[in-house]
Amino acid sequence: MRYIVFFLLFCNVAYFSWNFSQLGRNPAADIAAEPGIGRALLNTGLMLSSEYSLQVQQQRLENEENAKLCTQIGSFISIDDANSFITSAIDGGFTAELKLGGQIPVSQYRVYLPPFSSRSLATTTLDGLSKAIAEAQLEIETYIITRGLLENAIALGVFARLLDSESVRNQISVLGYSAEIEEIPQSTGVIEVQLRALDSLQMDNPTWLNLAAGRPYLSYTENLCETIAQGPQFP
């Protein structure tokens, strides 16, 4: 009986010693040491297989997003020109973003009547508006915008202060016309547009030819948007 007690006591001591030695180990660190893992994995404790699969899927989606090509288009002659290009690019299935270089001064504000369905209708409206402005003895510049997103709109001036643009809008409202105000960002540097796409743009590609139509001054450079992320790993 005495030998049995000693034997059981010895087994318990050996078991607790083994458990204590395992506490200092970091299983995640062992995994991180394997080839193909870009950074050390944090020891976050137990993780369900479903949670790990979800993280793997999320990482794969991020890798696909990062593998897209970014194309820098420039330089545009004006903000309006770039915005018109952006609209065409979005209609063509691209993701487009305006990029302004240099210093970013305070925005200007354009007052205008929204675009009309035709040039003749815009001209007729401008004639009536000009007559009303003259009768009211107001000093408001008016002209038809002939291209871009506001083609066939009637411009009523561009102002450095929002307060001045609101004053003109109110004066036009009294004459019976509904004017709008557009904020125009400014830049002292180049005006560019960044496109994101899965496929590379080529100079003879019909998509590029359509986007660059009427803009022979445009050029582009292409590169990956970001460094491709590492393989599946814990956060």
Residue 84 lies in a domain: yes
Residues 122 and 180 in one domain: yes
Residues 82 and 192 in one domain: yes
Residue 220 lies in a domain: yes
CA dihedral 167, 171, 172, 178 (to 10 degrees): 60
Tens-place pLDDT, residues 170-193: 999 999 999 999 888 777 788 888
Task: Look at residue 92 in the predicted model and tell me its pLDDT.
Answer: 77
Tens-place pLDDT, residues 8-36: 666 666 666 656 565 555 544 444 444 44
Above pLDDT 70, what percent of the chain?
62
Answer yes or no: is pLDDT of 230 > 60.
no
CATH number at residue 115: 3.30.70.1070
Nearest to 155 by CA among 132, 107, 122: 122
| 50 vs 78, residue with greater confidence | 78
Q: Helix, strand, coil shares of the chain as percentages rounded to 5?
A: 40, 20, 40
Structure tokens that stand for 23 in this block? 């506490």
Q: Are 134 and 144 in contact (CB under 8 A)?
A: no
Nearest to 185 by CA among 95, 110, 79: 79
Task: Look at residue 33 in the predicted model and tell me its pLDDT.
Answer: 45
Q: For the chain, what is the domain count?
A: 2
Residues 70 and 116 in one domain: no
Q: For residue 138, what are the domain limits? A: 108-184
Residues 94 and 192 in one domain: yes
Cα torsion angle, 226, 230, 232, 233, sign: negative
Place of tokens 């510049």: 141
